[in-house]
Structure 1
Amino acid sequence: MPLAGNLHTAETVFLFLLVLVALFAALAQRLKIPYPIVLVLAGLGISFVPSVPRIPLDPNLIFLVFLPPLLYASAWNTNLREFRKNLVTIAMLALGLVAFTVWGVAEVADRFITALDWKSGFLLGAVVATTDAIAAASIAKSIGLPQGIVDILEGESLVNDATGLLALEFGLGLLLRNETPTVAGGAIRLLWLLGGGVLVGLLLGVVIAWLERWVDDGPVEMVVSVIAPYAAYLAGEGIRSSGVIAVVTCGLYLSRRSAQFFSPTTRIQILGAWDALNFMLNGLVFVLIGLQLPYVMTGIRNESWPTLLQYGSVFSLVLIVLRLIWMYPASIFASFVRRKLLKQPVERPQGREIFVLGWTGMRGVVALAAAISLPETLGDGRVFAQRNLIVFLTFSVILVTLVVQGLSLPALIRRLGLAKTPGEGPDGEKEERYARRVMLRAAIEHLEAGARGGTSGAAASEAETHAYRELLNRYRYRLEAVQGVGQNLQGAGAALQRGKELQLDALRIERSTLIELRDNETIGDDVLRHLETELDLSEARLTTR
């Protein structure tokens, strides 16, 4: 009976949270504000209502249930080509900035926050040093940031978990066991966190990609795609490496290979299901952040509200300033390495772009879960008195970086001239037009060869010739439109009653050409996914009765 009661309570709470997500996400759309910001504020406001059920944030729920699929979805949608190009810049943020932030917070806490010493400040810095992949992906894209900045932000938030985890291990060792970390030990541990995570993610990705060759059923493949992030995370944590890096690696690898092993119908089903799942989990996460205020305030009894607000505001400002201070020399150094040593054709970073990168260091639920997971007692049995203040300051940083910085970003990028104008096409539009031309020309050459009897070696019959001509005219029209106007032809490729086999053959030529363009890095993964969706829809219309 108690089990049934607990299940009923959990079901009620889950339904309550889903209603909040749906209601306030719809409101965010009407207000034209990124929905994570509205959901956090909604949760914060609802937390003051006495009759609303209190929903504590369980760190295990975040790390084991929410985090793997959300990271997997972010990695799946990452442009691998741009990730590799920006790797030096990402490393300067994911490695250097994390270390600089931990050191800076420890120094500020030791000198200016009376309740904290250097060790507890180091631990606080480790908790808040890493940006959040969930927040970066959810907000940065929705406010019109240039794609180049979004690529760097996403790459940073996907990779910096390993250094954040290492800093957290060092901080706990300092505080609980009075251990002093060494440079050699830290380097070896970091290499294992990164290398072990990559190895596990790649191994699991190869196994899943091999299994996918024998499966072509949408529901089954959806189940496999949900299992993948959890298996990668648990395997990575099982060998004491980074579970997050394992999930990210697995997602990047399978996203790259999915162009070969997913059928068009299956891909449409899976991407639609993942869009819904990703939105639901994201929404629940941001609502839960806002609802944590009563628990954050529970252990703080000796400080007044004005003092706490001052602590939270000043500390959030310190964290923002530390990021901005690091961004300028790090961006210049990364640009020098890329241009002079790696011979990449990149422009020098502009001051306004560096400032926006520095302004978008958003923290999210992972930081709050890390703070809540801190032990309540020290190694010698004494109460960890600073824990409640660390949780409060972490909560304050999340609110400021998500809400204040998130709301200010649209006006900031317009002010700096980085916003897209209404008549401007999406990033990668030139690549997309080029890819369309190459794909259509390849399909036309294939059809012309077939009309001449080049594909089978025999002359085409009158009926076949008519079907070839009809389809060739459609493809030539599409090519002329792409060359002349360069617009997206959403209705192109509609099914014809006759010549269905020829159309499918031509679509497969387009698909193989598209994958070849991606593999030789003529186009990026984002362009491939966009055009691949059009091909999937066209092929699904032809194969579904």
Structure 2
Amino acid sequence: MSEIHAVEIAFLLLLCFVVIFGIFARKLSTPYPIVMVLGGLALSFVPGIPHIELNPDLVFLIFLPPLLYSSAWNTSWRDFKANLVTILLLAFGLVVFTVAGVGLLAPFVFPGFDWRLGMLLGAVVAPTDAIAASAIARRIGLPERIVDILEGESLINDATGLLALEFARQIIVQERIPTVSEGLLKLLWLTVGGILVGLAIGWVIEQIERRLEDATIEITLSILAPYVIYLAAEELHASGVLAVVTAGLYLSVKSATFLSPATRLKLWSVWESLTFILNGVVFVLIGLQFPQIRGSIHEYGLGKIILDGALFSLILIALRLAWVLPGSHLAFWFNTRVLNRRLPPPRPREVFVVGWTGMRGVISLAGALALPIVLMDGSPFPYRNAIVLLTFCVIFVTLVLQGLTLPPLVRWLGLSGTDGPNCEELEARRIVAGAALTHLTGARERDNIRNEDLYDDLIDHYQNHLASLDLDNQEATKKHVDYTELSLETLRIERDTAIGLRNEGRINDAVLRRIERELDLSESRLTAYGSED
């Protein structure tokens, strides 16, 4: 019973820390992954704070599936496909380049390391963190294409990085170098098998969803889905990461046809909160691991830790930049010459930003902590604690220091907010509103004289809405702003009146909640477009 009580206390403390650091992140206008890691690191030095160990199995089986699924669900399949060549060059090519580069350089930088330990270290830190990259990139207003590339890369390179880690660990533990054919076959099955499992289970979930009309059950199924997909793929020795990502992309595209509006609203709210909680807990846990990691390296002084961590981080940043700069031109050549696509040539400043945003996160730390303590002959795993320590240093440098320097770098390069108004969205809104207006006009003619006032009112509403979407029509835009403000004011009056009726005892709380829901939906509709702009 005492163990259960200790787990409860630890979990509640983590949630409290997530809330507190989330508030700080909002107040400081800083991406929350950075604040969470720094907060966890600061807490680790507070006397009396219980030590909470980051279990690798907990990361891979509890945190990873829903976070990958959520990221994939929020990824645009069209944009993912458009940037696929660049994403694959980063997710596959850069991982191999990082593993090989660290394998060659580590023996010259870290005494006692050979090429095998270097490759293992490179495989551990090869995957980038999807949440950190997208949270930071979107916060500072990077162009959508850069964000799409960073998110796509981090969704896929988890699988390739974990495969490289498996091979590198096999070389050390089993003292056997996998053959090229063995490696290619393993990679092929991990990739193809993971995609097939994701598509198959995704299709089954789609069929079930189409037959459900209960929002609560559908939301429960959506939370269960990534775990089922991940475990099924892993059981078949395919990539659970790629299976979850594939299913997330597939179901995201199909969801527009099988989710009801009410379910969609509830689903977004649930997943937004769940993703924040899971991410917050993970990043706080990363910071809390430092005392244990520091204590495992007794012979390392603080100065040597800082020096080695900084040097290794510089090596990784240099390797990424060395790959990204020529890789962008290779992707451009392949897209234009082989795929015959018309694309503008890569701009150096955008390429440099992609190279600078190689943040590492919990996957790297979990991979390092998952290394065995002893080899098959019973001898200690060589330099295991040093690998864990270097991994933590890389996470700290790439996530915190690079993350904090990214906003001024982006502003200096002139990339912040360069996209301007979302013309694609404006055009879509015009087309949607125009289609509704055309339907109303035709319906009024077919309906003869009946409900003429109703038609006139709706047509006038859509005509004003269409005019407000014309950025050149300042008068119509101003009228739309005034209309929105007046509507919000009347909604507040309705809400205050309903609350007053409840307080007077004239209606009960159930009636109030139904009225509030209608008012909340109306307010969300009015404020959504303005907040997106």
Structure 1 and Structure 2 fold alike (TM over 0.5): yes
Q: Which residue of 1 aligns with 2:420?
A: 425
1:109-128 alignment to 2 at 5 Å? 109-128=106-125
Matched, 1:443 2:436: yes
Of 248, 252, 266, the match for 2:263 = 266
Are the equivalent residues in 2 in contact too, given 1:127–1:367 (CA < 8 A)? yes
Q: Secondary structure at the match of 1:300?
A: coil
Cα deviation for residue 430 of structure 1 reads 0.9
| Contact kept in structure 1, 2:193 and 2:238, CA below 8 Å | yes
Where 1:170 maps in the other structure, the secondary structure is helix
**Partners of 2:437 and 2:463 within 8 A in 1:** yes
Contact 1:71 / 1:134 at 8 angstroms: preserved in 2? no
TM-score between both structures, scaled by the size of structure 2 = 0.88
| 2:374 is the counterpart of 1:387 | no
Match of 1:354 in 2: 351
Q: Whole-Å Cα distance in 2 between the matches of residues 408 and 389 of structure 1?
A: 27
CA contact (8 A) 1:265 1:536 kept: no
Question: What pairs with 1:16-95 in structure 2 (closer than 5 Å)?
Answer: 16-95=13-92
Residue 425 of structure 1, CA deviation: 3.4
Counterpart residue number, 1:199 = 196
2:460 matched residue in structure 1: 473
Do structure 1's residue 15 and structure 2's residue 12 form an aligned pair? yes
TM-score, normalised on structure 1? Answer: 0.86
Whether the 8 Å CA contact 1:173–1:179 is kept in 2: the answer is yes
The 8 Å contact of residues 34 and 143 in structure 1, kept in 2 or not, is answered as no
Q: Is the 8 A contact 1:75 1:251 kept in 2?
A: yes
Output one character per residue of 1:46-86: Cα deviation in whole Å (capped at 9) or x when no partner.
11122110111000111111111111111011011111011
- Asked if 1:323 is matched to 2:320, the reply is yes
Where do residues 134-153 of structure 1 align in structure 2 (5 Å cutoff)? 134-153=131-150
Indicate whether 1:412 and 2:409 are aligned. Answer: yes
Aligned to 1:185: 182
Letter paired with 2:64? L
Deviations 1:338-366 (A, max 9, x none): 11211222111111111111100000011
Given candidates 128, 133, 136, the residue that maps to 2:130 is: 133
* Counterpart Cα distance in 2 of 1:182 and 1:90: 26
Query: What SS does the aligned partner of 1:301 have?
Result: coil
Q: Is the 8 A contact 1:130 1:164 kept in 2?
A: yes
- Structure 1, residues 246-272: CA drift from partner, whole Å, max 9, x if none? 111111111111111111111111101
> Of 276, 279, 294, which residue of structure 1 is paired with 2:276?
279
Within 1, Cα distance between the matches of 2:7 and 2:384?
A: 28
Q: Is the 8 A contact 2:158 2:363 kept in 1?
A: no
Instruction: Provide, for residues 366-408 of structure 1, a one-character-per-residue CA deviation record: whole Å limited to 9, x for no partner.
Output: 1000100000111222111310000000000000000000000
Q: Could you say what secondary structure the match of 1:100 adopts?
A: helix
Cα offset for 1:484? 5.1
Deviates more, 1:478-487 or 1:130-139: 478-487
CA distance in 1, matches of 2:137, 2:230: 25
**Which amino acid is 1:118 matched to?**
W
Alpha-carbon distance change, 24 to 484 in structure 1, aligned in 2, over 3 angstroms: closer
Hey, what does 1:310 align to over in structure 2?
Answer: 307
Equivalent position SS for 1:380: coil
Distance 1:534 1:103, change over 3 A: farther
Q: Which amino acid aligns with 2:454?
A: A
Counterparts of 2:258 and 2:525 in 1: how far apart (Å)? 17
Give % identity. 50
Structure-2 separation of matches of 1:241 and 1:141: 32
Hey, what's the Cα distance between the residues in 1 that align with 2:175 and 2:18? 44
For residue 153 of structure 1, report the CA deviation from its aligned partner.
0.3
Task: Indicate the SS of the match to 1:53.
Answer: coil
Q: Distance in 2 between matches of 1:440 and 1:416?
A: 38
Counterpart position of 2:506: none
Which residue pairs with 2:170 in the alignment?
173
Residue 383 of structure 1: SS of its match in structure 2?
coil
Moved more, 441-450 or 264-273: 441-450
Unaligned runs of 5+ in 2: 489-520, 527-533
1:119/1:175 contact within 8 Å kept: yes
CA distance in 2, matches of 1:436, 1:307: 58
Return the alpha-carbon distance in structure 2 between the equivalents of residues 222 and 534 of structure 1: 23
Structure 1 unaligned regions, length at least 5: 454-458, 496-532, 539-545
CA distance in 1, matches of 2:14, 2:81: 38
Cα deviation 1:81-106 (Å, max 9, x = unaligned):
11101111011101110000001111
For residues 265-310 of structure 1, what are the alpha-carbon distances to aligned partners after superposition, in whole Å with 9 as ceiling and x for unaligned? 1111110111111111111111000000012123211222211211
1:264/1:536 contact within 8 Å kept = no
Contact kept? 2:95, 2:157, Cα under 8 Å:
yes
Residue type of the alignment partner of 1:387: R
